[in-house]
Amino acid sequence: MLKKETKLMLKSALAEDIAGGDITSRLVIKGSPRIKAVVLAKENGVFCGVDILKEAFPATKKDVTLTLFKQDGDPLIRGEGVAQLFGSAKKILAYERVVLNFISMLSGVSTLTNQFVKKIQNTKVEIKDTRKTTPLFRNLQKYAVRVGGASNHRMRLDDAVLIKDNHLRVGGYLVDGQIDKEKFKPIIKLLRQKTSLPLEVEVETFSEFQAVAEFYPDIIMLDNFSLANLKKVVSFRNKYYPRIKLEASGGVNLTTILKIAKSGVDYISVGAITHSAKAIDFSLEIL
């Protein structure tokens, strides 16, 4: 993970939760007892969150000692220990919820991502995420996507040029619902002159695909295409524009992804792996 960002996110989350201090532990727990505790997975999945644990309980501090039983990408088995903590009871209890929240969210993303990846493991198709991430958590969630076995699409708007349907409408490149090639040609030329970033164009119909393909973008995104139309586009691409990569997107789920992959596209973007991932449940048990 990005160490600096992990540190900042964890610091902010702890400040949000602890605020003026853990009043319950301060009043209920006498002295400075030391305890042993284990972080347990309460369901199966794919673990992600090593850097969160290391940042919360760094090896340079002696108040709590961290022993890791799992690394990012390792399978989770219900009831199995992920890490063990030994040290200050008050610190462990104060940090417990925030740390578990982070690893629950990240492991949820890596677990769902891995389920999609396994569905198409015998194909050559690459699963990509989207920008449908929790605000301010993008880099962490996209790291979890990589842990789950998929790859990242754009991290930010300045990573690539992606011309979507709204760009076409606002820019005036759609006439009577169709791409005006004479108007579109100069903008493609301008983009090629101004940037060397990857160029991708989103289309919604086969006729739009045909129009855009003439300008050889690096990738054409096929938004909400039926399976029949995906196969039609792939056949057309293979015959006339073999250099262009094809990305299927829109409404992809675990039931449909294998059929989409078998259509012959190169990439499938799945927003669900970040915006709809169910958190994996963990608990902290005192030994």
Kindly report the CATH number assigned to the domain that includes residue 235: 3.20.20.70
Identify the pLDDT of residue 60.
81
Q: How many percent of the chain have pLDDT more than 70?
A: 100
Q: Is residue 205 part of a domain?
A: yes
Give pTM, 2 decimals: 0.94
Q: Is residue 136 part of a domain?
A: no
Identify the pLDDT of residue 59.
85
31: left (phi over 0), alpha (psi -120 to 50) or beta: left
- The pLDDT tens digits of the residues spanning 239-260 come to 999 999 999 999 899 999 999 9
Residue numbers of the domain that contains 237: 151-269
How many domains is the chain partitioned into structurally? Answer: 2
Q: Is residue 126 part of a domain?
A: no
Catalytic residue IDs:
97, 132, 164, 202, 223
- The pLDDT tens digits of the residues spanning 69-119 come to 999 999 999 999 999 999 999 999 999 999 999 999 999 999 999 999 999
